[in-house]
Amino acid sequence: MKVTTVLIILFIVFSVGISKQQQEKSRVRSTHLKEPTPTGELIVKLKEGTTVKEFTDKTGLELIKKLNFGSRNYLFKKTKLEFVESEVQAKGKRKGKGKGFTKPISDLDSIFQTQMEELVEHYEENQYYKPYLKSYDPSDPLFEDQFHLVNRGQFGGLWGFDANVQPVWDEGIFGAGINLVIVDDGLYKDHKDLKVNYSPDLSYDYCNDINDPTGSEDDTHGTACAGIAGASGDDGACGVGIAPSVNLSGRRIICSGVTFTDIAEALSDEISSVVDISSNSWGDFGCDVYGCSYAKITNILKEAIVDGITNGRNGKGIIYTFAGGNEGDYGGNINHYSTNKLLEVIAVAAVSNSGRHSYYSNIGTGILLSTISSGKNLWYRNVKTRTTGSKTTTSCNERFSGTSSATPLLAGGIALMLETNPNLTSWDVQSILIESATFIDPPYKDNRWVTNNAGYKFSTNFGFGLFDANKAVKIAGNWENLPPIETFVTPTQNKSVEIPEDNKYGVNLHLTIEKEDSLTITGGVILYLSVDHTYIGDLDIKVISPHGTIAYVMDKNSNRGKKLDNHYFAIRTFYGENSKGTWTLNVRDYVPVDEGKILDWKLEFYGVNHEFHNARIYGKRTLIYPEIEEQDGSFASNPNCASFLIMFISVCLFFIF
């Protein structure tokens, strides 16, 4: 009878645990974004030598404004509707209605190709767009609870598994003089935690076209991000940011009515050239319970970012951090997304306070680094980070988490690096983060580590490892700037090749880089791939370097699409390797019935034309994980696990005997 009672107790304990786990999963946002809607405006990049007057005379479009980044980017609108209607009607298309040009660009492609081909480098329709917040859930106050900064085992965490920022603070480095912009849903500038560091000059609300980025009481996300990055210390409110003296600004873009051009301008800084870091905990929608989809990169957003890292900070480049995304539970891979995976930005993954990959955090070859955010362990089903709230001037956010929290933590950490060495370029910062990262290897399956030919460890779960502020700042202080980054794009491989069904070997395609075209890879590699297939999610995609390093670009997943059209896959795996030699693309279809073929592919390399300086002479921090027998990830590593199990068994024996 007593044995039966014990078994019932065990059943209840584990049932409650499973139930809570399911509840946590159900909280992940799964709302579909509405399709972007047209504005009646065109974003145009004129060819060199083409004047605005020549363009407007030829097309009938009216200039709205010159965009504040790039020398040839403009925004136009259509005022003479009959100019286009006659052409569209001739093709049997419906008439346009309303005051402006509101037809989808696809209806007019042939017209613009014939009438503007000699005038325009590229164009696209400006659209109303509401970015998808990379938020999982919001968090609690007080510095002693901020395990992401100093982990003393709070909430069942692994002692010492943190940003390692205390030694940096002890050196008197707090991010002073560095300008960090939070691009989000607002920033509550009057909060006691933020008002000391708030900088109005770089702030703007693109939703209402005003200089105050506060937003409404419900716009809590950006304020929480600001608190993680740069909440002031010793002010009696909530906790402290990782860079408590950084200059904070807010650019509000999360709302209905914001367009691609608004977001592009929020990301750029060509006029003032004083923005140092742009923190972005938002992105497009990739995966949910219904499956995944591949997002197409918007030219104007990419160009704004490229312009930022080329011309920002007087040529040293704005450093962009982007959330890796929170759809990992649904098979989310950063290569499903658009802006977040660009090699020009730093994509951030999340790990829990117990040292394991956070189950919601997207994986992928485009992840650069991990920082600590929410997650679960043996003692807690979901531990949240603590930061600044938005309800009152002293309120605290008790439920902030996800890669939304991980991203500003890294952004603030970069501010510490720039205070130490303001001459770092954006590409220098990426290399320093890689060199200083802490290897994360919890005792569970599927940590997905690969060691490349240059000796660097990379994981699609963690990127190059955990951000270490102390190591990063030390390396930054002694860093010699890398030469300007160069790129090399291979010719497109146009041979159409069938992908064999239900085949464990798949198809291998090859291309060779000659010595004169080779680079030492520092920025990464881009795979551009076009595939026609009846179920894209059946495919497993790998790229193999000449040195035998395998990049696991995409696993079989729930994507139900049928085509990839020159899709951009970001690959960080090959950092430090030389590109010379034969590269292999391997595509496998694990499932019968559906079929397809590779249409074309090419590679683009970002690197430097010299032997790479290895900064790892500074050494790396090593974390000691507790020894545990469980290896399937059911329990988080915790130094108190053994004590807990002994206590539990003792109680059971007491009731039995």
State the CATH number of the domain containing residue 541: 2.60.120.260
Q: What is the CATH number of the domain that holds 120?
A: 3.30.70
- The count of structural domains within the chain is 3
pLDDT of residue 142: 67
User: Is there a single domain that holds both residue 452 and residue 322?
Assistant: yes
Express each pLDDT in 165-196 by its tens digit: 989 998 889 999 999 999 999 999 998 889 99
Which positions are annotated as active-site residues? 184, 221, 404
User: Is there a single domain that holds both residue 269 and residue 357?
Assistant: yes
Q: What is the mean pLDDT of the chain?
A: 80
Please state which of the ranges 66-70, 352-356, 578-582 shows the lowest mean pLDDT: 352-356
Residue (of 325, 400, 366) closest to 30 by Cα position:
325
pLDDT of residue 162: 85
pLDDT: which is higher, 234 or 464: 464
User: Does 618 score more than 60 pLDDT?
Assistant: no
User: Does 440 score more than 80 pLDDT?
Assistant: yes
70, 101, 128: which is the final residue of a domain?
128
655: in domain: no
Average pLDDT over residues 446-458: 90
Contacts of residue 524, defined as CB under 8 A and 6 or more positions apart, other chains included, come to 343, 366, 570, 571, 572, 574, 575, 606
Q: What is the pTM (predicted TM-score) of this model?
A: 0.82
User: Is there a single domain that holds both residue 105 and residue 143?
Assistant: no
165: in domain: yes
User: Is there a single domain that holds both residue 497 and residue 402?
Assistant: no
Express each pLDDT in 471-506 by its tens digit: 999 999 999 999 999 999 999 999 899 999 888 889
452: in domain: yes
Q: What is the CATH number of the domain that holds 392?
A: 3.40.50.200
Cα 559 from chain centroid (whole Å)? 20
pLDDT of residue 553: 96
Average pLDDT over residues 206-219: 91
pLDDT of residue 577: 96
User: Is there a single domain that holds both residue 304 and residue 331?
Assistant: yes
Express each pLDDT in 311-332 by its tens digit: 999 999 999 999 999 888 888 8
Question: CA–CA separation, 205 vs 226, rounded Å?
Answer: 15
pLDDT of residue 552: 96
59: in domain: yes
Which of 28-32, 92-96, 366-370 is most confident? 366-370
**Do 462 and 357 meet the contact criterion of CB atoms below 8 Å apart?**
yes
25: in domain: no
Residue type, 286: G
User: Is there a single domain that holds both residue 124 and residue 137?
Assistant: no
**DSSP helix/strand/coil, 497:** strand
Quick one: what percent of the chain has pLDDT higher than 70? Answer: 74
378: in domain: yes
Question: CA–CA separation, 5 vs 489, rounded Å?
Answer: 68
Express each pLDDT in 238-259 by its tens digit: 888 999 999 999 999 999 889 9
Q: Per DSSP, what are the bridge partners of residue 45? A: 73, 122
What confidence category does residue 617 fall into, taking pLDDT thresholds of 50, 70 and 90?
very low
pLDDT of residue 375: 58
Question: CA–CA separation, 359 vs 372, rounded Å?
Answer: 13
445, 477, 509: which is the final residue of a domain?
477
What confidence category does residue 129 fall into, taking pLDDT thresholds of 50, 70 and 90?
confident
User: Does 148 score more than 90 pLDDT?
Assistant: no
User: Is there a single domain that holds both residue 414 and residue 496?
Assistant: no
User: Is there a single domain that holds both residue 504 and residue 594?
Assistant: yes
User: Does 280 score more than 90 pLDDT?
Assistant: yes
Determine how many CB atoms are found less than 10 A away from the CB of residue 648.
Answer: 13
Express each pLDDT in 532-552 by its tens digit: 998 888 899 999 999 999 999
pLDDT: which is higher, 401 or 609: 609
477, 495, 524: which is the final residue of a domain?
477
User: Is there a single domain that holds both residue 333 and residue 398?
Assistant: yes
What confidence category does residue 352 fall into, taking pLDDT thresholds of 50, 70 and 90?
confident
Residue (of 294, 283, 282) closest to 557 by Cα position:
294
Average pLDDT over residues 615-636: 40
- Its domain, for residue 177, covers 132-477
Cα 198 from chain centroid (whole Å)? 25
653: in domain: no
User: Is there a single domain that holds both residue 250 and residue 381?
Assistant: yes
User: Is there a single domain that holds both residue 194 and residue 233?
Assistant: yes
User: Is there a single domain that holds both residue 188 and residue 311?
Assistant: yes
**DSSP helix/strand/coil, 519:** coil
466: in domain: yes
pLDDT of residue 357: 86
Express each pLDDT in 8-48 by its tens digit: 444 344 433 433 333 333 323 323 334 567 888 999 999 99
